[in-house]
Amino acid sequence: MQQGKPIIIGIGGGSGSGKTTLCARLETELEGYRVKSIHADKYYFRTRMKTTAPFTGKTYDDFNHPDSLDFPKMLEDLLRAANDGETEIVIVEGILVLHHAYLREWMDVKLYVECPADERLLRRTARFLQKGYAYEDIVNEYLELVRYRHDEFVEPTKWHADLFVNGSQGPETGVKIVLEWIRQAARSRKSFETVRDFNGKR
């Protein structure tokens, strides 16, 4: 039977909040469903957007501004997955996936992963140290630019979310609630498609 529109989940939140971890957890727990994940990190333009830090005047590559991401391409890939006739669940995750209304309108449920700034900084620092960046450079970029972009563009997107998920320690309850909602929605959608298919053949 041809599948109907899949369930589309948006996951936003700050850098280091736990978005990718939540996405991976959902993928694991939803084994048995055909899940497609779209990660915003894959949609940065090849020509990096440059920004001058507001107080120091230092120039950085800006990965936290909406114009740094190819959102039309992201939407194109989202719609391709939504209409392939096979995918049952699409997860879209990234710091700014809740920023644009034309992307949000396709989402059945919008999640925002909430996590304290100091914890996000620690995670971000550990991640970039593993990539070979210098500690001082990581911290300076965060203090001089990233935290301002977070307050300017990322934090306001939380008010578009349907549910906040605890990205700090102990997010189990939130994850269980999200999974139960997804499973119920998937069952309801399959039941609707079965009835529609039956009626169409009468």
Most confident of 107-111, 166-170, 187-191: 107-111
Would residue 140 count as lying in a domain?
yes
Q: Which domain holds residue 182?
A: 7-192
pLDDT value at position 134? 96
Would residue 93 count as lying in a domain?
yes
Evaluate if residue 58 carries a pLDDT over 50.
Answer: yes
pLDDT digits (tens, 9 = 90+) for 63-94: 999 999 999 999 999 999 999 989 999 999 99
Mean pLDDT of 28-32: 91
Would residue 200 count as lying in a domain?
no
pLDDT value at position 190? 64
Give burial (CB, 10 Å; 0-12/13-18/19+) of 6: buried
Would residue 2 count as lying in a domain?
no
Would residue 201 count as lying in a domain?
no
Name the band, by pLDDT with cuts 50, 70 and 90, for residue 170: low
Would residue 169 count as lying in a domain?
yes
The CATH number of the domain holding residue 73 is 3.40.50.300
Tokens 């997860």 map to which residue?
91
pLDDT digits (tens, 9 = 90+) for 110-166: 999 999 999 999 999 999 999 999 999 999 999 999 999 999 999 999 999 999 998
- Bin 9: left if φ > 0, else alpha if -120 < ψ < 50, else beta: beta
Would residue 198 count as lying in a domain?
no
Name the band, by pLDDT with cuts 50, 70 and 90, for residue 171: low
Name the band, by pLDDT with cuts 50, 70 and 90, for residue 55: confident
Would residue 197 count as lying in a domain?
no
What single-letter amino acid sits at 184? Answer: Q
3 state SS of 71: helix
The count of domains in the chain is 1
pLDDT digits (tens, 9 = 90+) for 14-24: 999 999 999 99
CB–CB of 52/58 below 8 Å?
yes
